Structure 1
Amino acid sequence: MKSMSATPESSAAQVLPFVRRYAVLILLVALFVTLSVSTSSFLTLTNLINILNQNAPLAIIAVAGTLVVICGGFDLSTGAIFSVAAVVAAWVAVRLGNPALGLLSAPVVGAILGLINGLAITRLKIHSFLATLASSLVYGGLAVLITGGFLISVDDGSFTALGRGGVGPVYYAVIILGVFALVSGFLLNYTTFGRYVLSVGGNPEAAELSGIRVDRVKLYTFLYSGLAAGIAAAIGVSRIGSGQPQAGTGLQLLAIAAVILGGTSIYGGIGAIWRSVCGVYLLALIDNGFDILNANPFFKDLTTGVVILAAVALSATRRGR
């Protein structure tokens, strides 16, 4: 008679998909509860609102970056695009005396720079890692060139309203993040474009043979990533009231880390918007928790690195199976 009990292999096969799908949410909830119990400073309305608000620009970049990674690419230029868009916004606001036009110029500049990345990747056939690494250096130099290495301060209440204002206790940045994440999730899950993104990331050769214009899909994902960096830049420059050529330094790596933490496969074809947002706020809680507990910063970096490594290992396990 055959045994009806499940083998260890079959049990693992059932558990692993659940862990991959909800690991970041489980970790986020566990860390939230731990910090709530550990210190009274964490579970306050002011602290929680600040966490949401401060990390909204990064989350916007990570949301669009999810589409790029699902499509099989990497965008290492979002931090530099953020810097260029921010200084252009401040420059336009000061030189033309039009704060609204300055803020609107940031996403436009971001989309243009993202489009240039996409053209370099699809027309010149340069790998996205190398293309965006090179463009990040070019864009970073452009930000310094625009400002001359100095800050461009904007002393205008209408310019800083986007980054500092809100509806009741909810900042505009958080509202923009919510809308952008919902739109992006709809694009990925309920549109033809989203299906194409998943197909191209899963198997670009098969997608090409099935009639999908692979290069065009990749181009659009990088344009969207640039647009997101520009939107984030408009929020960031409005919040601090000045354009800084180094404002976006490191954002691209944090965004990619958050996307991978959210379970998006580094090999493409698998991912979800909501999990990337959870990845951003998991990193934010780690950072906030160590600050509140006044712990050694070395252990913060160590903890973050271990969590990211575990997420990559899960992704590699999926590919191996």
Structure 2
Amino acid sequence: MTTPTLPAPRSLALARDYGVVLSAVGLFIALAIASAPFRTGTNQLNLLDQWSTIGIIACGSTICIVAGGFDLSVDAIFALSGVLAAWLAVHLGDPTLALLVGMLSGLVLGVFNGLLVTVGRINPFVATIASSVVFLGIAQLITRGSVLSVAGQGFSRLGLQRFGDLTLPAVVFVVFAVLTAVLLARTVVGRRLYAVGGNYEAARYSGIAVNRVQVFAYAVSGLSASIAGVLAASRNSSASADIRTDLAFQAITAVVIGGVSIYGGAGTIPRALVGVLILALIGNGFNLLAVDPAYQQVLLGIIIVLAVAVDAWARRTQK
């Protein structure tokens, strides 16, 4: 009786690295054939705009996960940053300063998360869930349960600005993706992020300030959420403590589907963006084809399980 063997490591690595790309290309072609509205330039630009929020947060989540972290507080940071920007715009009368402070607030909140995980030695899941409760509570205290509306075009200009056919949020998404991709692939900081996420103890013994690296990763994750939150508040000319509870889920789903290892130390921004593309194609395609959303959830669940399984098998065979 022969003992079952695991697939070859190279085959699993190829499946993880290129299988998702081929899936995205195949899905795009299938939808282009099945739906005429899908092929229009307007629909493609709308996809880029609608998914810019998830895309920005997915880039920050990728940095955090590569470094061995996990941030479940992005929903709350998204809400609180928008609330801070709106409140400051109303009370200070300076929309530019308000928007800037709102964006930078994510850095502070991210550092707070990083300190909970590194100095506080709290499990990342527990730490970021707890911090999200705190952040959301602060947002509720500021808004007192109501919606903060901001009059005047100064505050809304950022979210509604267009560059030709592209919205500013879409442009910010592209720029942020490029910057984070370069950070991971071309800088010393990027190499340290991979080292810490791949083997925490080995990185520490090699002289890397592992705590600083992880705090930095959480700071970038927080910044990504606050940028997205401020852009959303600006576009709507309002903000509230009501959050999109699917932001963290969709961002992490995109990252995992894209082949970024949830165990840390492996993954790239382009991979995460392919994951965002697959989510966008599935959502848009199912809507255009009038498919029951329940099937979309089933499909996403299957894809997530397969992506995590392939990553786990690849790691096991490399040991």
TM-score (norm 1): 0.94
Corresponding residue for residue 205 of structure 2: 209
Kindly report the root-mean-square deviation, in angstroms, between the aligned alpha carbons of the 2 structures: 1.7
Question: What amino acid sits opposite 1:166 in the alignment?
Answer: R
Asked if the contact 2:89/2:95 (under 8 Å) is kept, the reply is yes
Match for 2:39: what amino acid?
L
Q: Is the 8 A contact 2:196 2:265 kept in 1?
A: yes
Q: For residue 291 of structure 1, what is the aligned residue in structure 2?
A: 287
Alignment of 1:158-173 (within 5 A): 158-173=154-169
Please say if 1:90 is aligned against 2:66.
Answer: no
SS of equivalent to 1:42: helix
SS in structure 2 of the partner of residue 201 of structure 1:
helix
State the match for 1:267 in structure 2: 263
SS of aligned partner of 1:177: helix
Q: How does 1:62-77 map to 2 (within 5 A)?
A: 62-77=58-73
- Residue 173 of structure 2 corresponds to residue 177 of structure 1: yes
Comparing 115-124 with 92-101, greater Cα deviation is found at 92-101
Q: 1:11 to 1:147 in 2, by over 3 A?
A: closer
Matching residue's letter, 1:21: D
C-alpha displacement of 1:61: 0.9
1:150 Cα offset (Å): 1.0
Counterpart check, 1:46 vs 2:42: yes
Name the count of aligned residue pairs: 314
Moved over 6 A (4+): none
Given residue 291 of structure 1, which amino acid in structure 2 is its aligned partner?
N
Residue type at the aligned position of 1:54: Q
Q: CA deviation at 1:310?
A: 1.1
Question: Which residue in the other structure is 1:37 paired with?
Answer: 33
**After alignment, is 248-257 or 206-215 more displaced?**
248-257
Instruction: Name the CA shift for 1:130/1:10 in 2 (closer, same or farther; >3 Å).
Output: closer
The answer as to whether partners of 2:6 and 2:313 remain within 8 angstroms in 1 is no
How far did 1:160 drift?
A: 1.8
1:124 aligns to 2:124 (yes or no): no
Cα-to-partner distance string for 1:40-89 (whole Å, 9 max, x where unaligned): 11111111111101111211111011111111110000110000001111
2:77 corresponds to: 81
Name 2:185's counterpart in structure 1.
189
Question: Structure 2 unaligned runs (5+)?
Answer: none
* Deviation (angstroms), 1:251: 0.6
Amino acid at match of 1:133: I
Q: Which residue of 2 aligns with 1:224?
A: 220
1:280 maps to a residue whose letter is V
Structure 1: segments with no counterpart, 5+ residues: 1-8
Deviations, residues 125-144 of structure 1 (Å, cap 9, x unaligned): 11111100111111112111
Distance across 2 between alignment mates of 1:254 and 1:15: 28
What secondary structure is seen at the aligned counterpart in 1 of 2:37?
Answer: coil
**Structure 1 vs Structure 2: percent identity of aligned residues?**
42
Is 1:236 aligned to residue 232 of structure 2? Answer: yes
TM, length-normalised to structure 2: 0.94
Rounded Cα–Cα distance in structure 2 between residues aligned with 1:144 and 1:23: 43
* Cα separation, 2, equivalents of 1:309 and 1:240: 36
- Amino acid of the structure 2 residue aligned with 1:203: N
- Judged with a 3 Å threshold, the aligned counterparts in structure 2 of structure 1 residues 40 and 260 are, in CA distance, closer, same or farther, namely same
Structure 1, residues 218-271: CA drift from partner, whole Å, max 9, x if none? 011001111111111111111222102123422111111111111111111100
Distance in structure 2 (CA, Å) of the matches to 1:217 and 1:235:
27
Residue matched to 2:51: 55
Taking the aligned partners of 1:319 and 1:255, their CA distance within structure 2 comes to: 23
CA distance in 1: counterparts of 2:305 and 2:160, whole angstroms: 35
Q: Is the 2:9–2:314 Cα contact (8 Å) retained in structure 1?
A: no
The superposition leaves residues 88-136 of structure 1 with CA deviations (integer Å, 9 ceiling, x where unpaired) of 1111112222221221122111111111111111111111111001111
* Structure 1 partner of 2:24: 28
